[in-house]
Amino acid sequence: MENLEYPLISVIMPTFNREKYIKFAIESILNQTFTSFEFIIIDDCSNDATYDIIREYAKIDQRIIVLRNKANKGIVFSLNKGLQLSRGKYIARMDDDDISMPTRLEKQFQIMEKDDSIIVAGTYFKYIGRNPDSFASWVNVYEHDMVKIKMMFECPICHPSVIMRKNFFKKYNLKYSQEYQYAEDYKLWLDVLQNGGKIINIPEILLLYRATNLSISRNKKTSNLQQIRSRSILFKCRELFLDTKSKNLLRDFCNIPMELSKKQEIYKKIQRIQIAYQGNRDSVQKILQYFCGVFSDIHICFIFDNIQLQGLINGIFSILKNSSELDRFHFYILHNGSFQSEFSILKLRRIKDFELSIIDICKINNENISQYKTLYFKFLFALTQLKIEKCLLISSRFVVMDSLNFFWNADFEKKIIVATSSCNLEKMELFRDEFLIQ
């Protein structure tokens, strides 16, 4: 029998009008492998069946504590109410439409017990619900120094995934701020850092995060307030960790998520921050690699098949112009005896140096080449003869808008050829069949 008077973890879950999903959230907590917890559920005056569903679960599990606000007060009020009434050594957050993986609390408890310096431990998560593949996770750093640095750009913690050390919050009288509603978690993490607390992410998916029509519409309605308050917090983070010169370098990132900014601009700014940053410079280097990639020799093949020369020049120009210092290029131009403009391509070295190979496939002596009926497939066959591990095949009409470093460093599972927008899906199937591209 669990000690209900002294639970080790207090799980806090505010809820409002979640009759469709709340049973999944509740059951995911009740089915945890770690069992020494109290489950505080605060209903914010729902007008659907949510409250009745909670009470039914409370009848069969004594660990559930049901609270209900007399009027709709909002999530910040409910969270602070749960914090005040919690009895656990640790406080875990949960949202009313998400699902915790069965070992979530067990693994978070072990991490917190092992290292007393950790005050907040979030986890990685996976989207479920409405078009989950169309959303990108913002939680992808885990070490404290990297979390702290990313705080200067955006919030790197998934709020409903966290577990927190209660005595730290009690010691410094920390709670959620009504002034920063819609960014209340971001502000709380800043308060933790300002008081010397350590924040990490466990690099394992321990939460399924639901994207619903309601949450999306709510975000649209409150996006202006959220952006204003988030911007205020990231400025406070920069005040805390950076000197004036470094802060000025970051002013362009006020409203732009890091993943949507050009890698070359990010590279330049973070590289300057690395020089001025007074903390762990190795951590800044990790952030640099995280956002911009690593030094790479990128091999790119263009097929010149009676197309306009200007299209080819524009394609290479766009790659060079939008690259970062991490990108080193070797271009290959495959042609059927019709290319005589090497000098025009070499003039692009004024932008950035690169290597260039001009390959006439008509001069490739191979008895098997005749079996490929189309000229396009003869080009592809010639490409397979290049003695390199990996090569990007790019249409000469394709314009690159950002650094190819991340794309190049993606795990292509030993594919030699990576086709881009140069072909449609039907041709892609033919490529796979002819060249065993799995």
pLDDT at 200: 95
Average confidence (pLDDT) over 10-28: 97
* pLDDT of res. 223: 57
Q: What is the mean pLDDT of residues 1-11?
A: 82
CB neighbours of 38 closer than 8 A, spacing ≥ 6? 4, 7, 9, 10, 11, 63, 65, 86, 87, 88
Question: In angstroms, what CA-CA distances link 363 with 49, 146, 330?
Answer: 75, 52, 21
Say whether pLDDT at 86 is over 90: yes
Q: How many CA atoms lie within 13 A of 93 on its CB side?
A: 22
- pLDDT at position 372 is 44
State the pLDDT confidence band at 1, using cuts at 50, 70 and 90.
Answer: very low
The residue length of the chain stands at 438
The reported pLDDT for the residue numbered 341 is: 85
Looking at residue 320, its amino acid is: L
